[in-house]
Each structure stands twice: as C-alpha cells, then as structure tokens.
Structure 1
Amino acid sequence: MITIRTRMAADNEQLAAIWLRSVRATHHFLKEEDIARLYPQVLNDYLPAVNVWVAADPTGELCGFIGLDGNKVEMLFIDDERRGEGMGKALLAKAEAMYGELLLDVNEQNPQALAFYQQYGFVVIGRSELDGQGKPFPLLHMRLAAR
C-alpha cells in the first residue's frame, strides 16, 4: 500500500537523493557534471518552489515524489530500485484528482519517461529545442486532458 502525503522540509535530503538515483538511471544524456550542477538546485531551490507530494511504502520509506506548479508537473521522480511498483501512476493520479487537466515537459532524450507518460494518457502538444535552463536538451510539451 502506497501512502501519498505532502512534503515536509525534513524530507528534502531524501527526495534529492531519490532524484539523484533516478536521474543517474534514466537521464543517460546528462553528463555527471550536469547532474552535479543540478543537485544543489534541486535540493535548495526546486523542491521548496513547488507543491511536492511524496510516495511512501508501508514502512514509511520515501520512494518517489511529484512536484506541481498549479496543474503543471514540474518533477516526477521514482527511486531507481522502486520503479514499476505503481508509485508514478499513483502520484499522477493524485495530481489528476486535484486538477483534472495536467501539463508537463519531458526530455525528448528520456524515452522511458516519454513512454510512461504516453501510456498514462498524455499527448505531445509541442516541442522546444532547449530545456528550461537554455541547455541543448530538447523538451516535449505534453498534456493530459481532464477525463
């Protein structure tokens, strides 16, 4: 049974560690120096800037999280060893229940994430050559219509 709750400031170190393991396992287009540059931003800037919901297993261990800015999914990361257990879907369902229509950007170079979002029902509605930091990591803009 997965429990979903709001983020507490005390969760930030664990969530940043989940982000790190997930990114290393799925974002093969990033170099280690890119990841090292992003890590403190995730920990200190990105997590506090959005509405974060965390997924915990029955023992209370944090296994993943979703960060929302209104109805836009800014972050969705599942601990590498916990992928495939339904936590990503549960977190998206929580966001969908709150907002109906959802938007997100996914790195074009992350085919696993793209396939996951498409399987959930998101469709591509646009593309950008650069990511939000102006780096040459193309983004696909996606939308999930209210169901």
Structure 2
Amino acid sequence: MKHAHGATIRAYSVADRERLAEIWLEASFVGHPFLPEADLLGQQAKVREFYLPQAENWVAELDGEPAGFIGLIDDFIGGLFVDPAAHGHGLGKALVLHAAGLKGDLEVEVYAANDTAVGFYRRLGFAETLRHDEDDEGRPLEVIRMRRAA
C-alpha cells in the first residue's frame, strides 16, 4: 500500500528481523534517552527474539528498504519505531492509520518523559486513559496509556 513520500506499507517477513531490531535501537536512543544504554541493548535482544516473532508487524519501506514498523498485539500498539534518518516523512502516522484501518480502536503505552511520542499520539486522536508509576520492567518511569477510538 503506497503512502505519503513514496512509502509502502507491507506485512513483516522474517528477513526483516535484523533491520527492524536496528531501527528499534536507533529510534530508542532518540526517544528514550532516559534509559541506560545497557538496558536498551538488553531490550533489543528481546525485541529480536520475542517481540518481533510474536507481534503482528507492519513495515514501512522507503525506496524499497525498511524504514519503520508497527507491532500490534490485537488492538494494542506494542511498538512503533521509525529510523531517525526517516523522521518527519509521515511514516509513523501512516503506520498508525494502517493499524487503525485493520483494528479500529487502538491503545498504546508511552513513557511520559517521551514528549515527542505523547504529542505524536495526541495529534492522531489518542487520549490518555491511565498512568502507571513504573514501566513494564519495574523501573520508576511514568507510563501513559492512551486510546484512539475508531
């Protein structure tokens, strides 16, 4: 499916795994500078080994190369990551709208400290429904749960 700026969205294939794990890490360094590098490197292994194989993933390509992806668990966005070199091209928005077209209602959790992500989801119609004082790793980092109605 073609989108803005010549991006194509397609289903994930196992051949994408290493590139998507790289995109995950690069985007996480930008979006989550408050997380220690060692934590991110450990989490990248989980992304590669568990999250990518288990989620329903959609890949955004620019010029035939993966530049971002969204991972869905039913109607929950488990992850949305775009290569920092491709930020500002509408890939994140295209991926979220693709997911909304498939699922209807969507939910996501974002770090409160990630102002960019919080603002991004608000602009796409997500509203805060809940806050947690800890992330899913038990770190004392506030997480916001947001929902977008179909």
> Which runs of 5 or more structure 2 residues have no equivalent in the other structure?
1-5
What does residue 111 of structure 2 align with?
107
Count of aligned positions: 145
Asked if 1:74 corresponds to 2:115, the answer is no
Per the normalisation by structure 1, the TM-score is: 0.96
Alignment match, 1:126? 130
Q: Which stretches of structure 1, 4 residues or longer, exceed 4 Å deviation after superposition?
A: none
Q: Secondary structure at the match of 1:66?
A: strand
1:30 aligns with 2:35: yes
Letter of the aligned partner of 1:87 in structure 2? L
Overall identity of the aligned pairs, in % = 39
How big is the alpha-carbon RMSD for the aligned residues of Structure 1 and Structure 2? 0.8
Matches of 2:31 and 2:107 in 1, distance apart?
A: 21
Structure 1, unaligned stretches of length 5 or more?
none
- TM-score normalised by length of structure 2: 0.94
CA displacement at 1:133 relative to structure 2:
2.1
Deviation for aligned residue 1:3: 0.6
Who is 1:62 aligned against?
66
Give SS of 2:67's match.
strand
**1:42 is matched with which residue?**
47
Offset from partner CA, 1:94-129 (integer Å, 9 cap, x none): 100011110110111111100100111100000011
Aligned counterpart, 1:52: 57
